A and B are shown apart, each in its own frame.
Chain A
């Protein structure tokens, strides 16, 4: 069975500080990976997706960047946090190969002060 792990569970950071969030998928090789952002009580906004190691496509520009250093790892980061970055960050995976069902991780809660 596939498992998805996100870290950290929650963060409180200062405006202007750097950020790195991580996501790991176990039990599935070469998954498609996704990052989403969700405001409190809001919808899910896709930020990035990746279909293979080293390749990341940006969907929305929010002064964030993403990288896929390993087949099972997806990293979301920024050098300078903004207040607007607060929210719930979700990593998701799909099997790829025309199987588009996405499965979400438990999320990371971020509060920027």
Chain B
């Protein structure tokens, strides 16, 4: 059972546009949501994260919007750049358990110049 779902699976935007990647989850105990960025042949890198006590987290061009009631979150990448082309993974965990991070299937973003 996929506990974390991502959509779309792939997305293409033009340089300068805003890319929106969506994520939803099933487990109501999840309270920590990191997003990872992965380039081909490399390990995932933590991009930005949010806890369930917040409804928004911003870091430069990257913003997470979180809706606890609907169990949904989204990653907005403003002013997208070709260097942002990568696969983005949404993940979720119950903070403090220290053991399991559940990942979505990933979303491949392509930014065309």
List A residues at the B interface (Cβ < 8 Å). Answer: 32, 34, 42-46, 49, 51, 57, 59, 90, 92, 94, 96-98, 100-107, 109
Contact across chains for B45 and A100 when beta carbons are under 8 A apart: no
List B residues at the A interface (Cβ < 8 Å). Answer: 32, 34, 36, 41-46, 49, 89, 93, 95-101, 103-106
Q: A43-B89, A100-B32 are in contact. Are A51 and B43 (CB under 8 A)?
A: no
Chain A: CB-nearest residue to B44: A104
Residues of A within 8 A of B100 (CB): 46, 49, 59
Contact across chains for A100 and B44 when beta carbons are under 8 A apart: no
Q: How far is the CA of A4 from the CA of B42 in the complex (A)?
A: 13
| Total A-B contacts with CB atoms under 8 angstroms apart | 56
Contact across chains for B42 and A43 when beta carbons are under 8 A apart: no
Contact across chains for B46 and A43 when beta carbons are under 8 A apart: no
Contact across chains for B105 and A42 when beta carbons are under 8 A apart: yes
Within the complex, what minimum Cβ distance (angstroms) separates A45 from chain B? 8
Within the complex, what minimum Cβ distance (angstroms) separates A23 from chain B? 11
Chain B: CB-nearest residue to A96: B98
Residues of B within 8 A of A94 (CB): 98
Q: A43-B106, A44-B89, A101-B49 are in contact. Are A106 and B42 (CB under 8 A)?
A: yes
Contact across chains for B44 and A44 when beta carbons are under 8 A apart: yes
**Among A59, A92, A104, A109, residue most surrounded by chain B Cβ atoms (within 10 Å):** A104
Within the complex, what minimum Cβ distance (angstroms) separates A51 from chain B? 6
Tell which of B98, B103, B105 touches A32, judged by Cβ atoms closer than 8 Å.
B98
Within the complex, what minimum Cβ distance (angstroms) separates A15 from chain B? 24
**Among A34, A43, A104, A107, residue most surrounded by chain B Cβ atoms (within 10 Å):** A43
Closest 6 CB pairs of A and B: A104-B43, A98-B96, A43-B105, A44-B103, A107-B43, A104-B44
Residues of A within 8 A of B97 (CB): 100
